[in-house]
Structure 1
Amino acid sequence: MEKLIGYILRFAMRVYTNKLNRVAERNNTTSREKKDRYDILITGTFYSDQWIISHLRPMSESNRVGRIYMVAATELPEIDKVTPIYPNARLQKIVGGTIARLITISKVAKEKRPDVIAGFHLLLNGLLVVLLGKKYDCHSVYLCGGGPLEVLGGGYLTENKIFKQLGKHDAVVERALINAVSHFGSVVVRGTDAKHFFEERGVKGDDIYIMSGGIDGASYYPGEEEKRADLIFVGRISNIKRVDILLQIVAKLKPDHLAIKALIVGDGPDREEMEQMAASLGISENIDFVGWQTEVGDWYRQARVFILTSDSEGLSQSMIQAMMTGLPAVVSDVGDLSELVENDRNGFLIQNQDIDAYASAISGLLDDPDKLATFGMAAKVVADQCEVGEVAKKWNRVFADLDNKLQG
């Protein structure tokens, strides 16, 4: 079955690449002029309101943005200057939310001819967005939240239901994805490692911007609340987040920390399996699965240490939130997490999912209140650079560069 899927995807990506290259060659100049304020059309898939807000609000607060039109299959929170556009309910029922959303952004792009068109994640949003940008003379932006994993091996390690079926590395599909990225007007990544990855594969460095999501400092700040938990994880409970590793760490810590408590804030397809695993490890009483929460800052302030055991990340929004709240971060050494986490200063970067190393780092913090406090203060200092206003300034620079490109 994998061979058949691989053949179909390779054929489809060859057709797509030929189409994109032809459209790009035909429309290799722009008739656009620079503007004081740019209108932006975006699409993406989001799993929480906090994630949406952290990415759209800094952009909306840029003084160079007129209006953001956001095509989404699920209801959006209210954000200044953001106009939600939802696919027709009947269309969603017939073809599903993702396809309905992609059909809708295609129609809106044709009708509105926005100045900028952007997609969160390459598969499938970015692939369509770059094609629409070339077709309708819009500046296209790839918002790469997942880092190199979105491209590596043809996307087989992502959560995309189509490309993950490749099952293994596919060089042909990977080259096609890199080619697509090279056609974007701008690429926004989360850290230096991701930027270097794309530069090494031929994407122009001047078109790549390093930018985190923006976190509201008014919601994420240290507090004096009583600590009800030692560890906190916030995110989607899915395979790539490796909550199973987190549970094994708690089991490892329990003999020396009998009352250890971990909060798991979030939900996802693996929640029931993880609850069963906690029971089998004898740590059910040490784990609280509390589901998605709206006031996440309040939950961080009830914990001592943030933990993230993902196999892959960009620059985790939940990690930034936790560090801004004054929590040291003990995280897997993947993606761009090292942009903020400095070993033995504000947290620890753990390599190769080493459970003993995780447990040792966490134990060292929990057993030394002074060290815990010092690391927490250092975490906040570095995370404050990701506050909404600071990220909005970075978007101003993106649009200033767009001015220069349009003039050139």
Structure 2
Amino acid sequence: MHHLYPITLLDDVEQIMVVKDKPYPKMNKVQYYCPPNWSLKIPVVAFVLKFFIMCYLSIKEKPDLITGYLLFPHGILAFITGLLTGRKIGISTIAGPVELYAWGKSPIGKYSYHNQLPELSYIAKISLWILNKCDLITVTGSYTSKCLVKLNVDENKIFILPHVLDENFKFKDVNKEYDIIYVARLAQVKHIEILIKSIKVVKKQYPSIKVAIVGSGECRVKLEKLAQSLNLSENIDFVGYQSDVWNWYNKGKLSVLTSEREGFPYSVVESLSCGLPVISSNCGDVCDVIKDGYNGYIIVNYEDYDSFADKIIEMLKNPTIIDSFSENALKTAKEMTPENVSYIWKEIFQII
């Protein structure tokens, strides 16, 4: 939904047709086209039906652009549909360069963004061919853009589109119940175990440190057992999925991100919008908004829990740093408005 809203602000855009499994909430200028619910139980059938829906809409409505979010599967659907029906094609890579290598997968360790990416696989070469045939590629930051240019993708067709949020994510002057807020899907690629290990180190100086881990996922039981084994059960609260996540950000002093790779994580933008400094791993496009020593810190190696611990201790020891970084976080967040992203889309439509 946040990807679409800036486009709806453009006067020249009359209609946005969205083909997806289930509709988002109603939005101005947006019309949803979904396969029948029964087909969702058989992903291959749903995939084929969405392809036919896209082809039908392309032939009937003659859109100026067909674009897909994520190279696989939606980008490939858009690519094939555009080729068959003679429409201009766009692909939005929102997970970073890993989309080239691992279609629909999230392999661990092999594609860490703080290391050099491996040689192009057969799938990656196909991905590059597809991207080079597109009229438009949007990415979430300069890291992904530079990676694609290095792989000889035409930089003139690459546009950086940062994320935008709804108005619920804003600073509130409330009591800080937690020192650290961590918000994410509890998945392996997030490496939340690194945060837990760093808290074990921090606890030596701050025995009463409090952390809230907000989110659900397949790793929750394993992470809870790790926290228990490190005697951190009283320090770390696993609060599960929360629909009012903006209120949880405002309960904390700072935010931490320990992923081995990200496209442009919403949790970072959400944290900044609520005035939370972010201590983040060097995991991709996040470095466009987290400026080391300004609104947070960048940890080079996501596995280095001691470095995470050092920065957490440094900030907790110096409340003035937290206050300064918090002010800067809010300044950074003000630059990521729907209007700014809408202006980028206006430039895109003028070019294509």
**Shared fold per TM-score greater than 0.5:** yes
Structure 2 vs 1, CA of residues 398 and 378 (structure 1 numbering), >3 Å: closer, same or farther? same
Q: How does 1:252-401 map to 2 (within 5 A)?
A: 252-353=201-302, 354-401=304-351
Deviation at 1:65, TM superposition (A): 2.4
Q: Deviations over 1:227-276 (max 9, x none)?
A: 11111122211111111111111222112111212122221222222222
**Alignment partner for residue 250 of structure 1, among 191, 194, 199?**
199
Question: Which residue number in structure 2 is paired with residue 68 of structure 1?
Answer: 16
* Residue identity in the other structure for 2:228: A
Contact 1:326-1:379 at 8 Å conserved across structures: yes
Which structure features the higher share of helix residues? 1
Deviation at 1:377, TM superposition (A): 0.7
Q: In 1, Cα distance between the equivalents of 2:17 and 2:215?
A: 28
* Residue identity in the other structure for 2:11: N
Question: Which residue number in structure 2 is paired with residue 212 of structure 1?
Answer: 162
Contact 1:129-1:140 at 8 Å conserved across structures: yes
* Residue identity in the other structure for 1:131: I
Structure 2 vs 1, CA of residues 196 and 279 (structure 1 numbering), >3 Å: closer, same or farther? same
Deviation at 1:75, TM superposition (A): 4.9
Q: In 2, Cα distance between the equivalents of 1:317 and 1:288?
A: 21
Q: In 2, Cα distance between the equivalents of 1:169 and 1:88?
A: 41
Structure 2 vs 1, CA of residues 157 and 111 (structure 1 numbering), >3 Å: closer, same or farther? closer
Structure 2 vs 1, CA of residues 221 and 211 (structure 1 numbering), >3 Å: closer, same or farther? same
**Alignment partner for residue 139 of structure 2, among 175, 178, 189?**
189
Deviation at 1:100, TM superposition (A): 4.0
Q: In 1, Cα distance between the equivalents of 2:37 and 2:66?
A: 23
Number of equivalences: 338
Unaligned runs of 5+ in 1: 1-52, 403-408
Question: Which residue number in structure 2 is paired with residue 85 of structure 1?
Answer: 33
The question of 1:55 aligning with 2:3 is answered: yes
Question: Which residue number in structure 2 is paired with residue 18 of structure 1?
Answer: none
Q: In 2, Cα distance between the equivalents of 1:107 and 1:401?
A: 29
Q: Equivalent residue of 1:132, what SS?
A: helix
Q: Equivalent residue of 1:285, what SS?
A: coil
Contact 1:214-1:388 at 8 Å conserved across structures: yes
Of 329-338 and 193-202, more deviation after overlay is shown by: 193-202
Contact 1:72-1:101 at 8 Å conserved across structures: no
Q: In 1, Cα distance between the equivalents of 2:239 and 2:187?
A: 15
Q: How does 1:195-206 map to 2 (within 5 A)?
A: 195-206=145-156
Deviation at 1:60, TM superposition (A): 2.4
Structure 2 vs 1, CA of residues 71 and 277 (structure 1 numbering), >3 Å: closer, same or farther? farther
Deviation at 1:301, TM superposition (A): 0.9
* Residue identity in the other structure for 2:88: H
Structure 2 vs 1, CA of residues 214 and 281 (structure 1 numbering), >3 Å: closer, same or farther? same
Question: Which residue number in structure 2 is paired with residue 47 of structure 1?
Answer: none
Deviation at 1:89, TM superposition (A): 2.0
Deviation at 1:296, TM superposition (A): 2.0
Contact 2:94-2:140 at 8 Å conserved across structures: yes
Q: In 2, Cα distance between the equivalents of 1:143 and 1:249?
A: 35
* Residue identity in the other structure for 1:64: D
Deviation at 1:169, TM superposition (A): 6.6
Question: Which residue number in structure 1 is paired with residue 56 of structure 2?
Answer: 111
Q: In 2, Cα distance between the equivalents of 1:344 and 1:108?
A: 49
TM-score (norm 1): 0.78
Deviation at 1:81, TM superposition (A): 2.4
The question of 1:122 aligning with 2:67 is answered: no
Question: Which residue number in structure 1 is paired with residue 115 of structure 2?
Answer: none
Deviation at 1:156, TM superposition (A): 7.3
Structure 2 vs 1, CA of residues 56 and 291 (structure 1 numbering), >3 Å: closer, same or farther? farther
Unaligned runs of 5+ in 2: 112-117
Structure 2 vs 1, CA of residues 260 and 63 (structure 1 numbering), >3 Å: closer, same or farther? farther
| RMSD of equivalent CA atoms | 2.0
Q: Equivalent residue of 1:77, what SS?
A: coil
Deviation at 1:133, TM superposition (A): 1.1
Q: Deviations over 1:162-217 (max 9, x none)?
A: xx9xxx9762221111111111111001111211111121211110001112123x
Percent of residue pairs bearing the same amino acid type: 26
Question: Which residue number in structure 1 is paired with residue 114 of structure 2?
Answer: none
Q: Equivalent residue of 1:79, what SS?
A: coil
